[in-house]
């Protein structure tokens, strides 16, 4: 695919004559359009002029109209799809179930078990030659008596069977996780729609349905879904860094650089483009196809493409400016930072699992050694026998039995259910959060949210309804507290006002009649502009006729709104040859540029600075104190003489005449004050960051409950905020910032940079004992950096731009602040679910390991057999993780403070529970082991020979053990020392069915398990005793709850997060080497595309690691969007603080060479 893209330009000139016939009646072939899209700037213009005359010539060849668009005829659209392809990039094939099974089999513990089982199987079929001689001692006595020698294979087979069970469960879990991930991905992709013109109507179509020849409308904040050529543009600036790596925005214009590429972001302005390449033929698609299927192909293709692209690339890419060089340096430094950081929870769990695993390994090795030594001493020293060659198989069988006991101790000790529990808990939460209007894009964001200590929220749309309405106005020297009667206004003023509002707003913004009767009119497009258009309708006027009279293509010049200007202006030609400029914007900014104002007769009177101050005091401040946003509407006429210098914007937008000032209200959402109260109760500080003026912001903050009278808080404007945190040189100082942010509640008139600075400052701050975990909400393109920097970024699903969604971790599908509170609840629930599981799991581990170990040392045989251990392991790990990880969250989760990053997973209360229950269980089991035969009046099962039949004695021990675990599973539902462990148990059907199901299977195993499970059937009386002892666990739980934790000073917490300087993942180092190697290649002037490739690969690798290990890296990104982050490889990481101390000096040194 890549090769077609790079074929030389000359080659197409020859083909052009055949083009018409070949492209099914269209005047352009696919290769021709592809090669066209590879050109930039002047070259592209030249090519368009040579080949097509101009852009409208291109449209003619593609059989489309620049104004009317395509005809929306189904056969025509289908034909275009066949010739030019669909706008869809096929995803990588998912792993098959068998591949996942193979991956699950790679688990070391399972491999050891498999080997042990196979040896055991092999030996059971091996009969020593001749009769058993007495020389081998009583080693095999009892085997023949029972005629059980043939059954020796059963244990090996049963172990293999249970291994198969574990593998299938793991593989199935991975498979369903992958399926969910793909479902989520396709859902996000289907939701993305784009505006196109068909049959002269602007309609929204799903991105996948765009075809070559479509006329697409583009505006500020869009992520372009296909390649195209600009037909008409207003002040259009594009961020092409995702493709070229250049961070400066590129200005696009029909006569300068009309080429628009897929995967790039519109940062300013608006326009229309004709789509020329879609799907795999677009620039994004070409990169994806270059990625290829397998790694080897990738390398081959890369090398090939590099050779070919070398030349093209050098032309393609503008020379680096000095600034660019600095950026590169910065990038280089960035690349040396940690690449894949685990989420907080992941780090703590990995560390804990490793510690437990080590302890288990030591115990199991110890068990085997003791068993072997005991056997050798007993037989060869005390018994005084010699080792006979024909007895070897018998002895080896013993050693294998010891080895299997050792391995089972290890299997039970290693909590392999942990990743499973995390996986299930997160996957379950994400599915349920969907119902709570949270679309989670990166799974670990869900858990990080539970630790959040601060939320920086936008005002518009999140805390408020984002249905703007004009409620007050100042027109013709009169302040109207409600909408004025149009008859009271001077007709000249009214006409100017209607024109100023209708023309000087995006034509895509409209107020449409309501869908249902009695509903509010539908607002489409920018909400502030909708409010102004609504004002026109309230004045019994209409904006549509004005727009029909002056259509968008007749607008002479448009200065679009951006965060620097804070105003928008449009120039139209007047009939007398002069020009008129309409401007609207924030009143405090625009009034400074006004020199005149219209009085009540519609005549100009001069407007001096002191008039302005009076107006601010009497009109604007009172409006702002009511929580209104004030917007000034003004105009200016230019006489017909000479044409003004339009690029000199400050001169043009000056000496204006003020027509009116309006106050726009955006009412607070009714559910927000309660949601904010919940946050504050849960120990989360809510801060409001808005572009509005300080009075409006303060009024809204008070209505929401962010600030309360009598509290010590700060409300600052962006300017004042910057003055306080910067030193004389204008640099930001962390200690100055630390004085500001703890009390800051409202930041008004803030720029996107201020938002980013605030978030970064709070995260980097070291003044509290805990590092702050910050969540940020954003909807605009300019919020991207802050969303990325935050620990959790929330983007608005309805009002949010594609750029914001791209940078976010969670998308709020209803744009509502109260959904964030639900996310906090789910996040805390994930954390608690995992703690519950740990509390349960560790009790089982401690007990099983000690029983197996001491049993083996004292009676030369573990009371719990290998297969029984594996069953215990299965219920304890797999089923318990399902049961405890799916507990639904309760409101009580919001009554405690956040845990913080350093809080250990296992609190002292949990430690008390683990040890307390372990003591009860060990006491019971050892009593049964050494006195069980007396209590139940049965034969002792201790010191049984090799292939003896299962004993009732050991079956009772096994049964009691499992029933105690089942009751303890109910105890584990509460981890903060609550008394009522049954509370809400029926709201979790999964939990109930697992406990009852496990109990049912246990009955079957004991009564009918026979030899494979080493079980002898029990009587009703024995069953009742086992059950009675099991239920004793619940009573004992109450006893433990009575003991105050504060008295038990000796208890230690466990499972702290990884230390500051620890590298939590060896892969990080390898990863770096890879990336650095690629970076070094790129320094040699190869194209930046390959930086892109390398980074997508890294991301793909991370995605695949996440799928393999069940550890959720922050890399689960939407595939189609990977491109938009190519230039910033650091977003693979979740913002946790893992500092690499000299993290791979070789690669760092290499990158500088």
Q: Are strands 227-239 and 656-665 parallel, antiparallel or unpaired?
A: unpaired
Asked whether 68 and 59 are in contact (CB, 8 A), the reply is no
Question: What residue has token string 């039995």?
Answer: 401
Instruction: Please give the Cα distance from 1127 to 263 (Å, whole number).
Output: 12
User: What are the tokens at 18?
Assistant: 């055949």
Contacts of 1102 (CB under 8 A, 6+ apart): 340, 1113, 1115, 1132
Q: How far apart are the first and last CA of the chain?
A: 34
Distance CA 743, CA 113 (A): 59
Question: Which residues partner with 943 through β-bridges?
Answer: none
Residue 36 phi, psi dihedral angles, 5° rounding: -60, -40
Rounded distance, CA 845 to CA 107, Å? 19
Q: Treating both helix axes as pointing N-terminal to C-terminal, what angle do 817-859 and 866-874 enclose, rounded to 10 degrees?
A: 170
| Alpha-carbon 586 to chain mean position | 35
> Which residues, in sequence order, are bridge partners of residue 197?
202, 215
Residue 757 half-sphere exposure toward CB, CA atoms < 13 A? 23
Active site residue 458: yes
Contact 530, 468 (CB under 8 A): yes
Comparing C-alpha atoms, which of 718, 677, 690, 707 is closest to residue 778?
A: 690
Q: What crossing angle do the helices spanning 1089-1109 and 1066-1083 adopt, rounded to 10°?
A: 170
> What is the rounded CA–CA span in Å between residue 873 and residue 551?
73
Answer yes or no: are the C-beta atoms of 265 and 223 closer than 8 Å. Answer: yes
Q: Can you tell me the distance from the alpha carbon of 1065 to that of 1133, in angstroms, rounded to the nearest whole number?
A: 12
Whole-angstrom Cα Rg for the chain = 36
- Give the relative orientation of helices 30-37 and 9-22 as an angle to the nearest 10 degrees: 140
Whether 480 and 600 have beta carbons less than 8 Å apart is answered as no
3-class SS at 330? Answer: helix
Residue 748: φ, ψ to 5°: -105, 170
Alpha carbons 825 and 684: distance in angstroms, whole number: 12
Spatial distance between the Cα atoms of 1153 and 1146, rounded to a whole number of angstroms: 11
CB contact at 8 A, 547 and 507: yes
Adjacent-strand bridge partners of 596: 606, 657
Q: In the numeric block, which tokens belong to residue 19?
A: 């083009």
Residues written for the chain: 1153
Q: How far is the C-alpha of 462 from the C-alpha of 816, rounded, in Å? A: 5
Q: Which of 207, 205, 218, 324 is nearest to 267 (CA)?
A: 218
The C-alpha atoms of residue 633 and residue 16 are separated, in whole angstroms, by 53
Neighbours of 622 (CB within 10 A): 15
Catalytic-labelled residue, pool 436, 458, 783, 809: 458
Give bridge partners of residue 732 from the DSSP assignment: 726
CA–CA gap between residue 443 and residue 1113 (Å, rounded): 8
How far apart are alpha carbons 464 and 532 in whole angstroms? 18
Question: What is the distance between the alpha carbons of residues 817 and 463, in angstroms, rounded to a whole number?
Answer: 6
* Per-residue CA distances from 254 to 38, 218, 228, 882 (Å): 17, 14, 12, 59
How far is residue 655's CA from residue 878's CA, in Å, rounded to a whole number? 74
Give, to the nearest 10 degrees, the angle between helix 1089-1109 and helix 283-291: 60
Query: Known catalytic residues?
Result: 458
């Amino acid at each position: 695919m890549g090769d077609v893209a790079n074929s030389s330009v000359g080659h197409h000139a020859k083909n052009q004559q055949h083009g018409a016939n070949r492209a099914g009646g269209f005047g352009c072939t696919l290769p021709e359009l592809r090669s066209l899209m590879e050109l930039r700037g002047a070259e592209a213009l030249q090519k368009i002029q040579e080949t097509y005359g101009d852009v409208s010539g291109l449209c003619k060849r593609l059989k489309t109209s620049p104004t009317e668009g395509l005809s929306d005829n189904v056969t025509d659209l289908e034909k275009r799809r066949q010739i030019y392809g669909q706008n869809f990039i096929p995803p990588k094939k998912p792993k098959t179930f068998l591949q996942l099974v193979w991956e699950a089999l790679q688990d070391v513990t399972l491999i050891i078990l498999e080997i042990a089982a196979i040896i055991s199987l092999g030996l059971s079929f091996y009969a020593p030659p001749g009769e058993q001689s007495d020389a081998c001692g009583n080693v095999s006595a009892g085997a023949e008596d029972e005629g059980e020698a043939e059954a020796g294979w059963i244990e090996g087979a049963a172990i293999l069977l249970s291994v198969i069970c574990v593998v299938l469960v793991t593989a199935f879990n991975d498979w369903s996780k992958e399926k969910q991930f793909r479902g989520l991905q396709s859902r996000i992709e289907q939701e993305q729609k784009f505006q196109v013109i068909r049959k002269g109507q602007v309609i929204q179509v799903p991105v996948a349905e765009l075809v070559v020849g479509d006329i697409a409308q583009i505006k500020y904040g869009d992520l372009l879904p296909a390649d195209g050529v600009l037909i008409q543009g207003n002040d259009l600036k594009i961020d092409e860094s995702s493709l070229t790596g250049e961070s400066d925005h590129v200005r696009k214009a029909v006569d300068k650089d009309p080429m628009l590429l897929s995967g790039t972001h519109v940062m300013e302005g608006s326009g229309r483009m004709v789509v020329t390449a879609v799907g795999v033929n677009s620039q994004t698609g070409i990169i994806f196809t270059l990625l290829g299927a397998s790694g080897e192909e990738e390398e081959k293709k890369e090398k090939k493409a590099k050779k070919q692209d070398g030349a093209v690339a050098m032309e393609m890419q503008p020379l680096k400016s000095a600034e660019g060089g600095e950026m590169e340096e910065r990038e280089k430094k960035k690349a040396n930072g940690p690449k894949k950081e685990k989420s907080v929870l992941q780090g703590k769990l990995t560390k804990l699992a490793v510690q437990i695993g080590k302890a288990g390994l030591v115990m199991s090795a110890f068990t085997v050694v003791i068993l072997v030594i005991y056997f050798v001493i007993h037989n060869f020293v005390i018994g005084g026998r010699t080792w006979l060659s024909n007895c070897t198989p018998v002895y080896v069988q013993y050693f294998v039995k010891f080895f299997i006991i050792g391995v089972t101790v290890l299997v039970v000790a290693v909590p392999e259910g942990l990743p499973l529990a995390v996986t299930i808990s997160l996957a379950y939460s994400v599915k349920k959060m969907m119902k709570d209007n949270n679309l989670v894009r990166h799974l670990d964001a869900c858990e990080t949210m539970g630790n959040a200590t601060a939320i920086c929220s936008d005002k518009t749309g999140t805390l408020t309804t984002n249905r703007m309405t004009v409620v007050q106005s100042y027109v013709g020297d009169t302040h109207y507290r409600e909408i004025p009667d149009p008859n009271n206004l001077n007709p000249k003023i009214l006409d100017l006002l209607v024109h100023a509002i209708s023309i000087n707003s995006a034509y895509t913004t409209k107020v449409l009649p309501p869908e249902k009767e009695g509903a509010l009119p539908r607002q489409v497009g920018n909400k502030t502009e909708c409010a102004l258009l609504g004002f026109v309708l309230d004045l019994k006027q209409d904006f549509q006729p004005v727009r029909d009279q002056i259509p968008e293509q007749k607008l002479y010049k448009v200065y679009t709104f951006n965060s620097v200007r804070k105003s928008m202006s449009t120039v139209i030609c007047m009939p007398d040859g002069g020009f008129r400029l309409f401007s609207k914007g924030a009143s405090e900014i625009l009034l400074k540029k006004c020199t005149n104002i219209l009085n009540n007769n519609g005549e100009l009177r001069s407007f001096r600075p002191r008039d302005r101050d009076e107006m601010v005091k009497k009109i604007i401040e009172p409006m702002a104190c009511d929580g209104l946003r004030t917007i000034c509407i003004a105009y200016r006429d230019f006489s017909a003489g000479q044409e003004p210098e339009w690029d000199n914007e400050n001169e043009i937008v000056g000496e204006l005449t003020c027509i009116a000032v309006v106050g726009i209200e955006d009412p607070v959402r009714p559910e927000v004050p309660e949601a904010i109260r919940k946050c504050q109760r849960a120990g989360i500080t809510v801060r409001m960051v808005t572009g509005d003026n300080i009075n409006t912001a303060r009024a809204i903050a008070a209505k929401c409950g962010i600030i309360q009278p009598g509290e010590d808080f700060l409300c600052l404007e962006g300017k004042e905020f910057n003055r306080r945190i910067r030193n004389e040189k204008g640099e930001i100082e962390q200690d100055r910032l630390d004085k500001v942010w703890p009390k800051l509640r409202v930041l008004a008139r803030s720029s996107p940079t201020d938002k980013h600075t605030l978030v970064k400052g709070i995260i980097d701050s070291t003044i509290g004992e805990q590092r702050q975990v910050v969540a940020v909400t954003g909807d605009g393109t300019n919020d991207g950096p802050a969303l990325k920097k935050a620990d959790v970024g929330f983007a608005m699903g309805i009002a949010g731009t594609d750029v914001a969604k791209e940078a976010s971790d969670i998308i709020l599908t209803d744009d509502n602040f109260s959904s964030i509170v639900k996310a906090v609840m789910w996040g805390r629930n994930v954390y608690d679910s995992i703690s519950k599981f740990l509390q349960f799991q560790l009790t089982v581990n401690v007990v099983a390991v000690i029983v197996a170990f001491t049993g083996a040392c004292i009676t030369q045989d573990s009371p719990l057999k290998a297969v029984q251990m594996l069953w215990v392991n299965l219920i304890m790990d797999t089923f318990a993780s399902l049961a405890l990880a799916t507990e639904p969250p309760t409101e009580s989760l919001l009554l405690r403070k956040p845990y913080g990053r350093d809080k250990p997973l296992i609190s002292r209360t949990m430690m008390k529970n683990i040890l307390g229950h372990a003591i009860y269980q060990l006491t019971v089991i050892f009593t049964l082991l050494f006195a069980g035969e007396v209590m139940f009046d049965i034969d002792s099962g201790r010191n049984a020979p090799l292939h003896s039949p299962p004993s009732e004695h050991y079956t009772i021990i096994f049964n009691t053990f499992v029933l105690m675990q089942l009751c303890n599973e109910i105890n584990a539902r509460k981890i903060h020392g609550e008394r009522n462990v049954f509370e809400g148990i029926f709201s979790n059907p999964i939990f109930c069915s697992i406990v009852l199901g496990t109990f049912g299977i246990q009955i079957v195993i004991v009564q009918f398990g026979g030899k494979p499970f080493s079980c002898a059937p029990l009587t009703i009386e024995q069953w009742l005793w086992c059950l009675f002892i099991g239920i004793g666990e619940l009573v004992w739980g109450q006893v433990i709850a009575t003991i105050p934790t504060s008295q038990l000073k000796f208890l230690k917490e466990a499972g702290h997060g990884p230390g500051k300087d620890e590298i939590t993942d060896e892969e990080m180092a390898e990863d770096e080497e890879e990336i650095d190697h690629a970076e070094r290649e790129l320094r040699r002037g190869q194209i930046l595309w390959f930086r892109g490739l390398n980074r997508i690969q890294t991301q793909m690798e991370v995605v695949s690691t996440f799928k393999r290990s069940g550890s959720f890296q922050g890399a689960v990104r939407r595939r189609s969007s990977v491109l938009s982050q190519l230039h910033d490889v650091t977003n693979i990481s979740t913002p946790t603080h893992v500092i690499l101390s000299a993290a791979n000096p070789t690669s760092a040194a290499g990158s500088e060479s």
